[in-house]
Amino acid sequence: MNKQVPKIGLVSLGCPKALVDSEQILTRLRAEGYIISPSYEGADLVVVNTCGFIDAAVAESLDAIGEALKENGKVIVTGCLGAKSDVVLAAHPQVLAVTGPHAAAEVMAAVHQYLPQPHDPFESLVPPQGVKLTPKHYAYLKISEGCNHRCTFCIIPSLRGDLVSRPVGEVMQEAENLVKAGVKELLVISQDTSAYGVDVKYRSGFWGGKPIRTRMTELARALGDLGVWVRMHYVYPYPHVDEVIPLMAEGRILPYLDVPFQHASPRILKAMKRPGDIEGTLARVRAWREVCPEITIRSTFIAGFPGETEADFELLLDFLREAELDRVGCFAYSPVEGAAANALSGAVPEEVKEERVARLMALQEEISTEKLARMVGQTLTVLVDEVDEDGAIARSAADAPEIDGLVYLDEGEGLKPGDFVEVEIHDADAHDLWASRQ
Ligand code: SF4
């Protein structure tokens, strides 16, 4: 490798949205001819993309910056924690520069200042789909930045601002480039996927010479035409979400909806500034299942929000029993610096929060075990993620990468990551399935 070409390391922390920011930074670095170093020692400078969502993430980000400084010494900080440069600089005054999230241009400006751009950029080395951090067969497709909601536990709007939707033609072009490069599954992400286009009044863009509205349903339909799996994440329970369910029933996009409901007690939802009509939500879940019986509904919840009583928590458990959601995550409430919820009274003791998380997860485990047991004997199409001598690890339409279950195949011969294969399920536990090839 050419010793003269400047080399940059990148540490990427946080959620899929931060991962997409990292990919954009890597793409621009490669486009300008920098080499990406996989180690601290081999790098001339390190970019740390941080997360600042909860206190644990802040601590992890500060540790990662400390490690990069110790191992390399030249560090640029970006990402959600970077929006609070005072916190970063108080802990690590020696960092070279600090930028907020979604700031690839500012990161590049800082890189140019401390490690000048090589003279002969190897533009042709950058594939049209950019540089991806996910395995080659799936990719996150970020459709917007920021959020118009003001959930009281969340500081994302103050970090990333109000909703800014990416032009629909640009999103479709990126999706098509990814598919041409071999991606088999597109994971649509944003802070609020259902709000896509609200900021631009759903204006029409162009794709393939035809007008297409900047709107979730129209985007989902167009993505469905690309012939790969399309999975919708971070959908807010708005009425117009009902429109995408028929697309799932028709098989155009995956029958999978990730809707973070967060709670089910109207009082707590109100304190969270989230939609509080839980009966309406339950009716909506039932209607979705009528239109598309195979739909997988994933959600996340917060236990121990300030003011949550045992009765509120019981309402949440009742909701889970009624809704029988397929995939559920639960977090103990953790105050985030700058969040409006910090001013609410009625803090729940830590041990009560943890006990509630455990109770919720135990209930969900029962629901999930029962649901997955019903899968035994069924035939499914799965997407292979990994192959080794013991078999293969795959996912079904019901499993998003990293967060949901897996399908273990007892034989992987002739398979490779990115293959679709028909399998018959012969075993199940609370989260995963075991299967044989057809
Ligand atoms: S919808 Fe609520 S939780 Fe999600 S990013 Fe917006 S403010 Fe935060």
pLDDT tens-digit map of 80-119? 888 888 899 999 999 998 888 888 878 887 888 788 877 5
| Cβ(272) – ligand 1 distance below 6 Å | no
Q: Supply the pLDDT for residue 66.
A: 93
Instruction: Give the separation between CA 96 and CA 92, rounded to whole angstroms.
Output: 10
The ligand 1 atom at the shortest distance from the C-alpha of residue 147 is: 6
Q: Whose CA is nearest to atom 2 of ligand 1?
A: 151
> For residue 12, which phi and psi values (nearest 5 degrees)?
-115, 115
With a cut of 70, list the residues of the chain below it in pLDDT. Answer: 1-3, 119-129, 132
| Cβ(151) – ligand 1 distance below 6 Å | yes
Q: Supply the pLDDT for residue 1.
A: 40
What are the helix (H) ranges across 32-155?
A: 55-71, 85-91, 104-114
**What is the pTM assigned to this prediction?**
0.77
Encode pLDDT of 270-283 as tens digits: 999 998 889 999 99
| Cβ(147) – ligand 1 distance below 6 Å | yes
Instruction: State the distance from the centre of ligand 1 to the C-alpha of 146, rounded, in angstroms.
Output: 9
| Cβ(127) – ligand 1 distance below 6 Å | no
> Ligand 1: which of 53, 144, 145, 156 to mutate, judged by most atoms within 8 Å of the beta carbon?
156
| Cβ(50) – ligand 1 distance below 6 Å | no
SS percent in the chain: helix, strand, coil, step 5: 35, 20, 40
Q: Supply the pLDDT for residue 4.
A: 72
Instruction: State the distance from the centre of ligand 1 to the C-alpha of 153, rounded, in angstroms.
Output: 8
| Cβ(157) – ligand 1 distance below 6 Å | yes
Instruction: Give the separation between CA 133 and CA 140, rounded to whole angstroms.
Output: 10
| Cβ(145) – ligand 1 distance below 6 Å | no
Q: Supply the pLDDT for residue 119.
A: 56
Instruction: Give the separation between CA 243 and CA 121, rounded to whole angstroms.
Output: 46
Instruction: State the distance from the centre of ligand 1 to the C-alpha of 149, rounded, in angstroms.
Output: 6
Encode pLDDT of 341-360 as tens digits: 999 999 999 999 999 999 99
- Residue 55 makes CB contacts below 8 A (sequence gap 6+) with 334, 335, 336, 337
| Cβ(275) – ligand 1 distance below 6 Å | no
Instruction: State the distance from the centre of ligand 1 to the C-alpha of 164, rounded, in angstroms.
Output: 14
| Cβ(154) – ligand 1 distance below 6 Å | yes
Q: Supply the pLDDT for residue 21.
A: 86
The Cα-based distances of 395 to 2, 13, 340, 401, 417 in angstroms read 40, 24, 38, 8, 11
* 297 Ramachandran zone, left/alpha/beta (phi>0; psi -120 to 50): beta
The ligand 1 atom at the shortest distance from the C-alpha of residue 150 is: 7
Q: Supply the pLDDT for residue 127.
A: 64
Instruction: State the distance from the centre of ligand 1 to the C-alpha of 195, rounded, in angstroms.
Output: 11
| Cβ(191) – ligand 1 distance below 6 Å | yes
Instruction: State the distance from the centre of ligand 1 to the C-alpha of 333, rounded, in angstroms.
Output: 15
Instruction: State the distance from the centre of ligand 1 to the C-alpha of 316, rounded, in angstroms.
Output: 20
Instruction: State the distance from the centre of ligand 1 to the C-alpha of 156, rounded, in angstroms.
Output: 6
| Cβ(97) – ligand 1 distance below 6 Å | no
| Cβ(149) – ligand 1 distance below 6 Å | yes
The ligand 1 atom at the shortest distance from the C-alpha of residue 148 is: 6
Q: Supply the pLDDT for residue 74.
A: 93
Mean pLDDT of the chain: 91
Instruction: Give the separation between CA 410 and CA 408, rounded to whole angstroms.
Output: 6
| Cβ(404) – ligand 1 distance below 6 Å | no
Is 123 exposed, middle or buried (CB count within 10 Å of its CB: 0-12, 13-18, 19+)? Answer: exposed
The ligand 1 atom at the shortest distance from the C-alpha of residue 274 is: 2
Which amino acid is it at 273? Answer: K
Distance of CA 15 to the CA centre of its chain: 6
Instruction: Give the separation between CA 224 and CA 202, rounded to whole angstroms.
Output: 19
Q: Whose CA is nearest to atom 5 of ligand 1?
A: 191
Strand order in the sheet with 35-36: 35-36, 7-12, 45-50, 75-79, 97-98
- Residue 222 makes CB contacts below 8 A (sequence gap 6+) with 168, 172, 207, 212
